[in-house]
Each structure stands twice: as C-alpha cells, then as structure tokens.
Amino acid sequence: MKSLLTVLLLCLTPALPAVAQEWALGGYDAVSYTRVGRPVPGRSDIATMWKGQKWHFSSEENRARFEADPRAYAPAFGGLCPVALAEGRRVEGDPTHFVIIGKRLYLTRSDAAEQSILSAPQRILPAARQGWLRLKQAPAAVGME
C-alpha cells in the first residue's frame, strides 16, 4: 500500500501548480509579450535554461529568438514590479500584468500598477532603477520588503 501511494504521489507531482512556479514567467513565453502583445503559455516540451530558471516557449522559433538574445525578452528588474520598487518595496510582478515601454518588458503586480507606470513612466522608471540598485547592493535586501 505504501509503495502504491508513493507511485501515485510521483505521478501527480508534475501536475501540481507549484511546479509551474519554478518556471520563469510562470511558464509564459517571454517572446510572446513583444511579438504577440500578450502572454502566451509556453509548452513544456519547448524550453531552455537561463540564469538558473527554465523558460518555456510556444514555438521553436520563439525559443531560438530568446536564446539568441535573452536579455531582450526577459523582464526588467528580474521580474519585480517597477511601481513597487519605486515605492521602496520588493514585490514580484505578475506575468499576466505587464507593460512594454521602449521595447522593454516590465511585469507589474496589478492592473492599478500597470496604469500607474503607463501614466508616469518618466517618474516611476528612474525611481524603480534606484530601488533596483539598492536591492542589488543590499546583502539581504533589508527594507525592500
């Protein structure tokens, strides 16, 4: 009985949502944001590793584009919300909430954050860059939560 339970757990584990959290962008195709204008789910069989994360793509062509220049498609600030960074906080962006400004992908935490950055990018982005630099320089990111 114990071995049957172990086998069931091993079979079901890949289907758990937590697995998708290990994927960059929650499994969305990074290239789709700029090429299609929206997040498109990536396929589990079309992926690559970059910066310790597994990136999934909806097509071989998109994977090749990403592999040729990953920084062009990866979200700025490591996927942190620029509005939160500008406020001095470290908050993960949601891959379904995003803006593209100057060919750069920014993940935001919400619709409200999307609207905020779109209404004042010239104020928010420099403040976010400062927050990002402070975060990268702080050994434990104290005060950025």
* pLDDT per residue as tens digits for the range 27-45: 999 999 999 999 999 999 9
* Bridge-based pairing state of the strands 104-108 and 43-50: unpaired
Gyration radius from the chain CA atoms: 17
- Is pLDDT at 138 greater than 80 in this prediction? no
Sign of CA dihedral 82, 86, 92, 96: negative
- Which of residues 137 and 48 earns the better pLDDT score? 48
pLDDT digit string, tens, across residues 57-116:
999 999 999 999 999 999 999 999 999 999 999 999 999 999 999 999 999 999 999 999
